[in-house]
Structure 1
Amino acid sequence: MTLATAFAETTKFSTSNAEMRLRVLNLYRRYLRHSREFVNSYDLDVPASEVKTKIRQEFERHRFVNDLAVKNVLYMKAQMEFQETINFWKQQCHVMKYFEPIQSYSTTANDNFVQKFLKGTD
């Protein structure tokens, strides 16, 4: 059992790219360290190595963001995702959504409200 505040982090804006880089690397390492726990807690049908690969892909997706303000927001969102995942505040379907191919998120003009809702889009 984990305490809800065990992985909480106060909101702090990084003032330099070097500081942000250190914070992101530490968060990335925390994600990797807990990847096996994610698999066990959520009873995922994927191996821990695949979870680690997906974590890497998610971090790489934002690698070339240059605006420090955007980096700060992305970091805070990633930190919140980590805390929600590690504290078991999500359900298995929320975690497994990361393993769906990105094409499945695309909507077509023929999608009705329910289809868009189930895909998690507007």
Structure 2
Amino acid sequence: MSGKALVEGMISPNKAVARTRVIGLYRAWFRSIPEIIQIFRLEKTPQECRDKLKEKFMVNKDVDDVRVIDMLTIKGQMELDETMKVWKQKTHVMRFWEDPAGPKPQPTFLEKFLKGR
């Protein structure tokens, strides 16, 4: 069996199949939320976690390329597997709630001075 044949089996033949896989992944995450909260002793409610899950999935709602959808689905499944096998620590799980832009840098004294503050 060639490597190409192995990869072709993972690629969705069309957008409908890819969509079905995404929905299956979403449901798997959704069902795992109570267990994730318990395993990592999160100070989050199940509803907060479900809202964040929906937010994370909605970021990629406009992706049309089936190959990209498959790649994102595979990465999402790997994240779920790593989370459920406790290959992550609580800090890794809590990073889902961080602002992706990061904290805004505070202006230094010199920057404030030059702006006339």
* TM-score of the two chains, using structure 1 as the length reference: 0.74
Could you say what secondary structure the match of 1:45 adopts? coil
Match of 2:86 in 1: 88
Deviation at 1:64, TM superposition (A): 0.4
| Percent of residue pairs bearing the same amino acid type | 32
Partner residue in 1 for 2:74: 76
Larger Rg: 2
Q: Which has the higher helix share?
A: 2
Give the C-alpha shift of residue 69 in structure 1.
1.0
CA RMSD of superposed structures (Å): 1.7
**1:105–1:73 distance in 2 versus 1, CA, 3 Å:** farther
Residue 102, structure 1, aligned to residue 100, structure 2: yes
The runs of 4+ residues in structure 1 deviating greater than 6 Å are none
1:25 is matched with 23
**Amino acid across the alignment from 2:71:** V
- 1:51 equivalent in structure 2: 49
Change (3 A) 1:81 1:102: same
How many Å separate the matches in 1 of 2:86 and 2:69?
Answer: 26
Structure 1: unaligned runs, 5 residues or longer? 1-10, 108-122
Aligned to 1:35: 33
Q: Write the distance in 2 (CA, Å) between the matches of 1:13 and 1:81.
A: 19
Structure 2: tracts of 5 or more residues without a match = 1-8, 106-117
Cα distance in 1 for partners of 2:28, 2:73 equals 13
Relative to structure 1, the CA distance from residue 23 to residue 106 in structure 2 (aligned partners, 3 Å threshold; closer, same or farther) is farther
In structure 2, the CA distance between the partners of 1:91 and 1:22, relative to structure 1 (3 Å rule), is same
Deviations 1:23-44 (A, max 9, x none): 1101101100110111100011
C-alpha distance in 2 between matches for 1:57 and 1:39: 18
Cα drift, residue 94 of structure 1: 0.2
